[in-house]
Structure 1
Amino acid sequence: MERRKFCSGKSSISLSSNNSLPQELTTEINVPKKPDFVGREEAIAHLNTLITNRNAKIIGIYGKGGIGKTTLAREYLQIQRLKILELNVGMDTEYIVSVKSWVKRQINEQFKQQAKKKFIDMLEQLKYLLQNEKGKVGILIDNLETALDEKGKFQQRHRDYIELITRVLNHPTVNAITLITCREEINEAKLSFIESYPLPELSELAWQEFFSIFEININTLVLSEIHKAYGGNALAMKVITHPIETYYGGSLEDYWLDNKQFLLKGQIKDLIASQFDRLFEHNRHAYNLLYRLGIYSYREIPRVQKIGLYCLLWDVKKSETMQVIESLQRRYLIEFEAGKYWLHPVIRAESLTRLDSLDNTLLLMKEEIDKLLVSDEKIQYFLEWLREVTLVYSDFTPLDFRAFYLCLEYVYSFGIFEQYEFLELASFFGIPSIE
């Protein structure tokens, strides 16, 4: 299902040319008009100016959660039609993506090469591959704040990120552009070359444009108050749209009058919690799916295929599953693109607070996956092997089960069925080996 479409026109942004710019990057960007990306033409132009006029190789996009950092970064790389390598750092401080594992995976999967064993050698190998890539590569390092301490420095156990950035991504001959999203600015002397771009809030005009797409009756004074309270936050703008449409007849003023004191607090966390509460009251199946989606770590696999949602809907009739998924899409409570789904970090944080019993939820999820895939012999072969490794040769823990299903998602996505690939995959996700 697609969200409501906007007009098909495009906004053209002309930027000054730079003779030293590689030919595959364009200096005139056409920004598609679509409801998920309003009011960011200037931000796109700013990124392009940093890259084309100032020859920036790495840009840090900074701002509060929900302001639209990741959306902007992805949109820019897609507009430039770059091959994208995405490093989703992770939302859990205890389970941050290992740089070594990410580099290894890019070499093996994206470049179809056998990765070397030592980390330093892998970095040199990745640098060589990026140097010899025909087209420019776009690299997105997302949610980097999880790896930083309160002073903006990398935690000691995550300082490999510095090695990746300095040795590879910032090398002058590497044919790549790197965009980093982070809530706080990086404060590392070795990384002072990173161009800083504090992402400004969406303007009132952008909010007005967005609400107009959904034919919401706008009171400009009310719009100004809500916009000011939430600092132009893009996520806040999106999630209040559905209740205004559904429960207030499209009247922004009526919504404001009924929720004024709450809205004036301007707390995005509380706003998201209120959407969960509303779902709990009006659509229990959608509520269950939303909080269960917190099970996925969105780390090694940042996006979940539709089967990953189906296996969380064990208490919903098969004929009604898409209706449940679409109800979350309409509310902007789940992100989706090209048949894959994920949660915004702010929304996932709330979902984790509502998981009543992780062990029980994972067990029910396992049963549903078994039913969904019972007819696939190759997948069943993998399941039997992984079940033996995970459940017989190790004590059960929730982390084991999470790894189990991340492996399953990985296998289903990439068609990995060879025994040696199973062993490598198990090690990659921290599952104890039977060897």
Structure 2
Amino acid sequence: MELDTALAWINETLFTMTGEHLTELQRVILQQVWKGKKYTEIANTYGCTEGHAKDVGSALWKQLTLALKQRVTKQNVRSLLERHLQQISITPFTRYPSTHSSPLDSPTRPSPLESPSFVGRTGAIAHLNTLVKQGTNVIVIQGEGGLGKTTLAQTYFHQSSQSLSHPVRGSDSSVQDSLTGYAKLNPTPPERPEAIQNAPFELVLELLMAKESANITPVERVVEEWFSKDLGEEPGQDFGVTLGRLKRHLEQRRLGVLIDNLEPALDKDGRLIPAHRRYVELLRVLADHRGPSLTLMTSRDRLCESSVTVEHYRLPRLDYFAWQRFFHHRNIHPTATTLETVHHTYGGNAKAMGLLSGTVQEDFDGDLDAYWQENSSDPLLVMDLKNLVANQFERLRLLDGDAYRLLCRLGCYRYQSVAKVPTNGLIQLLWDVELGRRKQVIASLRNRSLIEFAKGAYWLHPVIRAEAIARLRQSNLGAESGEEWTLAHQQAATFWTTSVTQIRSLADAIAAWEAYYHHLAIHDFEAASQVILHSRHNQWGQFLPLGSTLYRMGLLQPVLLAIENILPHVQSERHVSELHNILGDLLWITGDVHRAIAAQQQAITIARAALAPLQCNTHLSSIHSPENQPEDYPESDADSNSPKPSDHRVANHLNRHPNSHPDSHPDSHLGNHRKNNPQAYQVHQVHQCYTFRMIEVDSLLSIGLYHIDLWDLSQAIHQ
């Protein structure tokens, strides 16, 4: 059993159970455990503490225990997975029976109704059958472009007529009686009888909406065509009369109606556009009859006509195993890792699957691994796919500018360590929209099928995100060059920072850390350093900088890399010295003691250089004078996240103003502060003195501890 196959199955299974894919650390744990490695080696491979690796591993074994219905441990995970995957016979043709059931229930081979060009929709067909059985007359199959909505609708009508094991013909008297008497005997049936539900469609009436709203055919002409060419009779002189005749056909015969690509006829609120409001009359007839006929409509947007009763079915994306079978039919056999990555990147989109297979066969001799190795950095390289995505963005731009801007701004979120963004994260990006309209804009975007959502959280699939980022970078949203890109990242960083007030779990810490990446994306290194140094109360009751809390939770490597990445670009003396102080601890924990000592010495050098001109003894004595009571202190600029002096009067004053920073003032501002408000300037200087003095002392203590580690006791004493 290949590890890649097991990883693909676990990833798909956990996503079905929890809505979350495997994290990078979970993958590393599985890969290393598969090879018989210990947690110490796993931690070294990933760059975290052994304790953190054990915690993540323990949680993973618990999830797999629920999935496999037997206890999973580090020692038995490989054998249990191999046995389970052999039992369910994971092959290129294995799939899960329904997108609405657990992949663990009863994995089966593909439905006999599947074909090389129609895979992975057994669950969708079953869902449509359920709705039909419940008496639904109109079903709107909703989803993004290229998802396979039209193919599903056409296949459903075709299979209902052609793929029954015992077809029921219209000449069968019992069925014919059921059809003709259905409306009379069941004016409001709770469910359709099985004989009616399984009867073949006698005829399917089709309407393909024009792609441009201006080219949509008037509904009167559409219905006239149905009568003259399909139903074999003349339409009435009056449209209302014609609709009455259509209703009788729907009630007395088993007709199928397919209205494809409805969205060009809808406005931004999901209602029929004014020029074609009479389509509402047709939809009412299709929805309100009491016969056995069925209407399927496909649309990227949600239909929101209150007078028309419809059921919406949001079509899920094709799963990993559907893609696997599709490529197998075309003699394309990628590794499980490559296929899993490609499937995730394109969100299981059926159109993307077909376009990729053609490109891979033509240009890479059927080698998807080689194609992806060369083109993974540009998922929209295939021009037809790029046009498909771009057209959806353009339509949204024309219909709803606010929703369009939100979609583009959502490209700034990463959807990696934190896979989904809560509603408030979207609201934060609507800074230029009236407060009362912000949730309406989110609802509008949700109805366009361009954004994924579940339980109040949202995310973009990589291909949609790639287009959103490209448009956001172009700043064609009405802002000046680069301004929109910068503002979006600043707002997103603000959201993550303000939404996490305490670090009560690893998830809190990771969410707060997201702000770092946003500042890094716009090269705001000072702000990025503030994210690392922003102090919060953590789960152990400590008030520590985020960087310190993260490495205490086991995430050494991300913090280490982040500090080393931004240090050359940070200008603030205080930030640089504090970053060196944290860096020293990180290097010490990883065993690089000599570099740790050098980092702490650098922190001391910077702190002492900053202290030299401050005349700290003078400032400290003056701050204790009786006339300088806390309530008399003028406003100053101090950072509550910095170390506080022990004198409660100074500490109380500094805590009044937690949102500014002592290094944020240009010299001219401090000069004015000193001249116009000497007491405020004095408090600022005191704050600086305590900050740098505490950095100096902490670094000296750390160096002493490091020397003890090296058994250099004489150096430790001198510290």
1:74 is aligned to 154
Cα distance change of structure 1 residues 77 and 129 upon mapping to structure 2, 3 Å threshold: same
What SS is found at the alignment partner of 2:213? coil
Partner in structure 2 of residue 210 of structure 1 = 326
Indicate how the Cα distance of structure 1 residues 31 and 85 shifts in structure 2: closer, same or farther if over 3 A, else same: farther
Are 1:165 and 2:283 an aligned pair? yes
Alignment of 1:261 with 2:377, yes or no, is: yes
Matches within 5 A, 1:364-375: none
> 8 Å contact 1:30–1:79 — kept in the other structure?
no
1:47 paired with 2:101, answer: no
Aligned to 2:343: 227
Tell me how far apart the structure 1 counterparts of residues 362 and 227 of structure 2 sit (CA, whole Å).
48
Matched-pair identity in %: 35
**Offset of residue 128 of structure 1:** 2.1
Residue in structure 2 matched with residue 366 of structure 1 by the alignment = none
CA distance in 2 between partners of 1:202 and 1:153 (Å)? 29
Deviations 1:333-354 (A, max 9, x none): xxxxxxxxxxxxxxxxxxxxxx
2:234 maps to 114
Is this contact kept in 2: 1:218–1:251, CA < 8 A?
yes
1:97 CA displacement: 2.0
CA–CA distance in 2 between the matches of 1:108 and 1:175? 22
Structure 1: where are the runs of 5+ without partners? 1-8, 15-28, 275-435
Higher RCO (CA-CA < 8 Å; seq separation 6+)? 1
Give the direction of change, closer, same or farther, for the CA distance of 1:254–1:184 in structure 2 (3 Å limit).
same
Aligned mates of 2:228, 2:139 — CA distance in 1:
26
Alignment map for 1:268-279 (pairs within 5 Å): 269-270=385-386
User: Are residues 124 and 271 of structure 1, via their aligned partners in 2, closer, same or farther at CA, if it must alter by over 3 Å?
Assistant: closer
Distance in 2 separating the partners of 1:245 and 1:190: 49
The 1-side partners of 2:156 and 2:302 are apart by 20
Q: CA deviation at 1:266?
A: 9.7
Q: Which residue of 1 aligns with 2:138?
A: 58
Question: Which amino acid in 2 is paired with 1:154?
Answer: L
Q: Distance in 1 between the 2:257 and 2:111 partners?
A: 21
- CA–CA distance in structure 2, aligned partners of residues 178 and 30 of structure 1: 24
- Tell me if 1:180 matches 2:297: yes
CA contact 1:88–1:97 (8 Å) conserved in 2: no
The CA deviation string for residues 236-265 of structure 1, in whole angstroms up to 9 with x for no partner, is 100111221222122111000111111178
Matched letter for residue 263 of structure 2: E
User: 1:141 is matched with which residue?
Assistant: 259
Q: Is the 8 A contact 1:226 1:264 kept in 2?
A: no
* Conservation of the 8 A alpha-carbon contact between 2:355 and 2:382: no
Larger radius of gyration: 2
Distance 2:221 2:132 in 1: 29
Report the secondary structure of 2:377's partner residue: helix
* Matching of residues 324-363 of structure 1 within 5 Å: none
C-alpha RMSD over aligned residues: 2.8
SS in 1 for 2:333: coil
Residue in structure 1 matching 2:225, options 84, 105, 109? 105
User: Aligned residue for 1:90?
Assistant: 210
Report how far residue 79 of structure 1 moved: 0.9
1:231 is displaced (CA, Å) by: 1.3
TM-score (norm 1): 0.53
| TM-score between the two structures when normalised by the length of structure 2 | 0.33
Write the deviation string for residues 204-257 of structure 1: whole angstroms up to 9, x where unpaired.
111111001111121222212221221111011001112212221221110001
1:272: Cα distance to partner? 6.3
Instruction: Tell me, yes or no, if the aligned pair for 1:58 and 1:170 is still in contact at 8 Å.
Output: yes
Q: Quick check: 2:153–2:258 contact (8 Å CA) kept in 1?
A: yes
Deviations 1:303-338 (A, max 9, x none): xxxxxxxxxxxxxxxxxxxxxxxxxxxxxxxxxxxx
- Whether the 8 Å contact between 2:140 and 2:311 is mirrored in structure 1 is yes
* Offset of residue 148 of structure 1: 0.2
Q: What secondary structure is seen at the aligned counterpart in 2 of 1:87?
A: strand
| Distance in 2 between residues matched to 1:211 and 1:156, nearest whole Å | 45
Q: 1:230–1:236: 8 Å Cα contact kept in structure 2?
A: yes
Relative to structure 1, the CA distance from residue 221 to residue 79 in structure 2 (aligned partners, 3 Å threshold; closer, same or farther) is same
Give the aligned residue type for 1:40.
Answer: R
Q: Is the 8 A contact 1:139 1:177 kept in 2?
A: yes
Range that drifts further, 83-92 or 43-52:
83-92
Amino acid in structure 1 at the alignment position of 2:143: G
Q: CA deviation at 1:194?
A: 0.6
Distance 2:369 2:386 in 1: 20
Query: After alignment, is 89-98 or 258-267 more displaced?
Result: 258-267
* 8 Å CA contact retained: 1:31, 1:79: no
Shift of 1:63: 0.2
Shift of 1:43: 0.3
Q: 2:274 aligns with which of 138, 156, 167?
A: 156
Cα distance 1:215–1:108, how it changes in 2: closer, same or farther (>3 A)? same
